[in-house]
Structure 1
Amino acid sequence: MFRSLFMLLAIALASGCTQEAAESPNPAREAEPVTLESTDPEHTGSSGIISAEREAVATDSGLPQPKTEMGLLDCQPMNDTSVYCGYQNPEDLVVVPDGSALVVSEMGEFMLDTPGGLSMLDLTAGERGEIAIDWSGAGAAWGAEGCSTPDVAAFSPHGIDLMTRPDGLHQLLVVNHGKRESVEFFELLQEEGNWVLAWRGCAVPPGDPFINDVAGLADGGFFVTHMWNKSTPFEKVVEQFTNGENIGWVWEWQPESGFTKLLGSDELMPNGIAVSLDNSKIFVNIYLGNKTIRMDRESGEVEGSFEVQQPDNITVDEEGSLWIASHKHDPLGQTCAAVTEGPCLLPYEVLKVDPGTLDTEVVIAENRPPMGYATVALRVGGRLYMGSAHGDRVASRAIVNPTN
């Protein structure tokens, strides 16, 4: 029984995190089964999830499934929520140093490594914008020695993090699935009044990585979450989850020592990760464990945890508060597989968390248009900006009592 439940869960997770291109002139009709192939021939173990299987799981569950909502494609605000459209699965967000825009990670097909990209959201105009990337590698190298430029055409971003280095330069870290599992280093800088990116290096975890999110450190290193070994046959992954095996963990990377597995971080699918403002505490969302843990960086001990359903990304605001996007749908029987355009209206919550006491407050609880399936909540001033791993839009909403 538990084996079959975990198989359903894994398929639902994969299908809930994808948005297939709408080829039909009638996108509201039922999606037809399409076999999806991994773009990375070296990683065929737990990839290759088939959409027909996803839809079969959803159909057999008897639960309501989100569909393409034609009435939402005009991208109008509603229910106190503004929306900004034209994106492909805007899974993660960071704000640029002057607060004028967001950098958006537009994710490809989860577990299939299809290409995605990086873009912008202009907060003044409320519009999507492109961000130029210089892939030449000219300038200072910030990553591992000898790490080469990725396959640009296959670039497939996931989790991102932006920080200011000790020398004052702005560093964007990007988890990349395209042809390799890597963390890519970019410098974020301004040219003629526009924010642009310059590739500065990379770091590739050892072994058989399948990574998710990254958190930069003031000393030049970073933490990155490892979900499971990527080439492991998917049935084996399901068996490991069924047996309660903690097959995920956190890597720490430092320029001098490279990658080191963080002791005490073995868990069931670590997802989002962040560090406290002083870099002394590590916060890790354990997606299949339905919890968030706090670790002390010096001792490596897990100091505390709190329950949260299916926590995805985690961000830290200027006051040190944590913001967590939580998925509230049934992961066994509800997916975004039939949504080919617009938002996937699966329910979600956004939690604000005190980093010291770990007290939580549900700030947003939504199960209605114009946005669903939030994977990140980012505070910028008095508003929360939310992205989704399946959909065409970023959303925002005013925060009540934002200084509290």
Structure 2
Amino acid sequence: MTINSKGKNMRRWLLIGTAVIALSGVGGAALMSSMGAFNSITTQYDAACTSVGDMAGPEDLAIDYDAGVAFISSLDRRAGMAGDIATGAIHRLDLNGSNSLTEMNVTGLDAAVPFLPHGVDLKTIGGTQYLFALNHRSATDPAAGHDIFVFEVRENTLDLVEHYQNSGIRSPNDLAAIDLNTVYFSNDRGKFGNFANLVEMMLAQKIADVSVYDQGEVSLSAPMAFANGVATIDEGKTVYATAMRESVLKEFKRDPATNTLTLVREISVGEAPDNISVAEDGSLWVASHLNLMAFDGHIKDASALSPFQVYRVDPATGDSKLMLENDGSLQSSVSVAAPYKDKILLGTAFQSGIKVCPL
């Protein structure tokens, strides 16, 4: 989700929507059901987890399985919602026992452009490792603009090597790189304005999209209802995207000549799927919000719980398996889940720090 949809605007959608629902009888009950209002967990995951770091809003992450490190995107969304200065950063987490956490030094950015990172992707091209990151120029105003930053990864430094902008990058949420010049990304809304946002969200209108940035041009590839996480496998031959308001993971075949996406299948991955992680064995791991009404409650009140689930998808068969679920007491607003050896990392949109848990 973007900072806007996870923050002030989404809160407005759901707050107004709750009032509409309360007045709309049977239809309102159906809408509430579609947002998971009546969902509850069946098996509580209560393992002893380690909390790492105190960075606010570590919403997305990418793992370098060879080096045993994770790169984590963080952004203080609550500060932005409150009208304060929203701060963001990229952190490097050692996964080989020390849990050492380092805030990466970012070089090459225009000092006048706020660094408010969101979705990230890690890719090695020509022997060089790059971190791709979506950036918002405002914590609350999507019209302020957005960026795709491409950083060369060094030991404790991210050096900017490419910077992409385009009006088609309207409300970006997540991204997945094919190469240095070709990046798929999600726009999680199709319209702006409180009422239009409310209608789009509540009625699950398929006017958000996955688009592709290719050498300066943006083309819409796949419309859907609240596009969210994006990932690629098979050297970019297959693209995946979560449609939060359709409750599915969509699998697409990609035409490398045209970047066109053809829908192959839709896979059930919980009520409101968020980010996608590609594990070392090639499986897909999807974090899913179990109850969007509870998620809204957590946005308004940090002490309110927001339950989550984590699904593992076999890309060969499309089989989806529930791996863990929790009522939010372990971590609320969980937006990303990524396995590493016998552990799993859980990131969150609004709380602080990463949870490292046994699998």
Q: TM-score, normalised by structure 1?
A: 0.70
| Inter-partner Cα distance in structure 2 for 1:196 and 1:219 | 19
Counterpart Cα distance in 2 of 1:172 and 1:369: 32
Residue deviations 1:149-205 (CA, integer Å, cap 9, x gap): 4734x211111001001x211111111112421211111113xxxx32101122123
The verdict on how the C-alpha distance between 1:150 and 1:221 changes in structure 2, with shifts beyond 3 A counting, is farther
How large is the Cα RMSD of the aligned pairs? Answer: 3.3
Which of 161, 165, 173 in structure 2 is aligned with 1:200? 161
Counterpart Cα distance in 2 of 1:347 and 1:244: 21
Separation in 2 of the partners of 1:270 and 1:200?
27
Given that 1:16 and 1:337 are in contact with CA atoms closer than 8 Å, whether structure 2 keeps it comes out as no
Q: 1:364 to 1:243 in 2, by over 3 A?
A: closer
Aligned to 1:145: none
The reply to whether residue 385 of structure 1 matches residue 345 of structure 2 is yes
Residues 335 and 106 from structure 1, CA distance in 2 versus in 1: closer, same or farther, beyond 3 angstroms? same
Q: Post-superposition shift, 1:336?
A: 1.1
Is 2:154 the counterpart of 1:185? no
User: Secondary structure of the equivalent of 1:278?
Assistant: helix
Maintained 8 Å contact 1:208/1:229: no
Is 1:304 paired with 2:265?
A: yes
Seen in structure 2, the aligned counterparts of structure 1 residues 108 and 277 have a Cα distance that, compared at 3 Å, is farther
Note if 1:114 corresponds to 2:100: no
Q: Is 1:337 matched with 2:299?
A: yes
2:103 corresponds to which of 125, 130, 134: 130
Question: Which ranges in structure 2 are unaligned for 5 or more consecutive residues?
Answer: 23-31, 39-45, 139-144
Counterparts of 2:293 and 2:178 in 1: how far apart (Å)?
33
TM-score, normalised on structure 2?
0.79
- Whole-angstrom CA distance in 1 between matches of 2:353 and 2:5: 16
Q: Summarize the Cα distance change of 1:150–1:236 in structure 2 as closer, same or farther, 3 Å threshold.
A: farther
CA contact (8 A) 2:74 2:90 kept: yes
Q: CA deviation at 1:216?
A: 0.9
Q: Is this contact kept in 2: 1:164–1:170, CA < 8 A? A: yes
Contact 1:99–1:380 under 8 Å retained in 2: no
Task: Tell me which amino acid in the other structure corresponds to 1:109.
Answer: R
Gap change, CA 1:100 and 1:318, over 3 Å in 2: closer
Q: Distance in 2 between matches of 1:226 and 1:150?
A: 26
Partner of 2:29: none
Change (3 A) 1:109 1:98: same
Aligned positions of 1:188-337 closer than 5 A? 188-190=153-155, 195-207=156-168, 209-218=170-179, 220-229=181-190, 232-242=192-202, 244-255=204-215, 258-262=217-221, 265-298=222-255, 300-308=261-269, 309-331=271-293, 334-337=296-299
Q: In 1, distance between residues paired with 2:119 and 2:312?
A: 20
Q: Which residue of 1 aligns with 2:43?
A: none
Structure 1 pair 302/395, CA: closer, same or farther in 2 (3 Å)? same
CA distance change for structure 1 residues 164 and 220 in 2, over 3 Å: closer, same or farther?
farther
Alpha-carbon separation, structure 2, partners of 1:380 and 1:168: 23
Whose Rg is larger?
1
Quote the residue 2:141 is aligned against: none
When you count helix as a share of all residues, which structure comes out higher? Answer: 2
**Cα distance in structure 2, aligned partners of 1:189 and 1:89:** 24
Structure 1: where are the runs of 5+ without partners?
A: 1-9, 19-35, 37-45, 65-77, 137-148, 400-404
CA contact (8 A) 1:16 1:390 kept: no
Which structure shows the higher strand fraction? 2
For 2:357, the equivalent position in structure 1 comes to 397
- SS, match of residue 331 in structure 1: helix
CA distance in 2, matches of 1:197, 1:288: 34
> In 2 relative to 1, CA 243–126 (structure 1 residues): closer, same or farther, beyond 3 Å?
closer
| Higher normalized contact order (CA 8 Å, seq sep 6+, divided by chain length) | 1
- Aligned with 2:320 (options 350, 354, 360): 360
